[in-house]
Amino acid sequence: MTAARTAAGVLVLAVLAAAAPSVRAAGWRELAPGLELGSFALPGGEASDGEPLHVVRLDPERWELVLLNASAPGEGEAHSARDWCRLKGMVAAVNASMYQADRLSSVSLMRTRTHVNNAYVSPDNTVLAFDRRDAGVPHVRIIDRTCEDFAAAAARYGTLVQSIRMVSCDRRNTWEPQARRTSAAAIGVDGSGRVLMIHCRKPLPTHDLVEHLLALPLDLAQAMYGEGGYQAQLYVGVGRQEFQFGGGFEDGRRPGDPDRQAWPLPNVVAARPR
């Protein structure tokens, strides 16, 4: 979704890696120590009905987050979440945030220690922070600008990604009710500080999705929006275990035929072994 933050009919691309093992049973499966893939039923369906919600859960003590940008020096090209991982040796990736019409720049603040994708601090209230500068803070956290001193907190991290708040610092749903339904990708942290890469392929109003996330056994502490529509992607691959999830249109249409191609993303949050 571009800076306009609207798309006429957004929703989901289906599980894109047809050869990947299916994720059927509800709950968690361990892919590697500290790396799990969760599959959970959505309202009105079972986890086995082809429309579960998927979550990659990472222990930040074992797995390091990395921001990958097509705008970074030596890059210049967007890739699907899976291709970013394959090119850069990552095991998981999800949309970092929405991006502008140039198909490179994030809508809001996005930077690493060595590259600034967008220096603009927008009114959005959440900032994902990682690559800590000192050992006195968690490896990964979501800064809520309504609850703390953003400048002081941000100064302790090398990488910052700003986006729309979904779950506040007091675990409150901050999204207003709406009629529009979309697929969605999001990033959260749980009560133990683990990272949650979230993907919902089923079209839902975002407010309703947040309510469902809070009700699931995720111990969701905070979350921010990554992307909606067929751009929304989640990938995880360890050894022969490979899963890729993407978006499409609310009426079930997919963009193009052959349509098993994931949308190229300019910015992803990815993970690799620490």
Helices (H), the chain: 81-88, 150-154, 206-215
Question: Which pLDDT does position 77 carry in this prediction?
Answer: 95
If you count them, how many residues does the chain have?
Answer: 274
> H/E element holding 66?
strand 63-69
Residue numbers in the chain where pLDDT is lower than 70:
1-26, 44-51, 248-261
- Is pTM beyond 0.85? Reply is yes
Which residues pair with residue 188 across a beta bridge?
196, 223
The pLDDT of residue 15: 35
DSSP state of 78: -
pLDDT, tens only, 193-240: 999 999 999 889 999 999 999 999 999 999 999 999 989 999 999 999
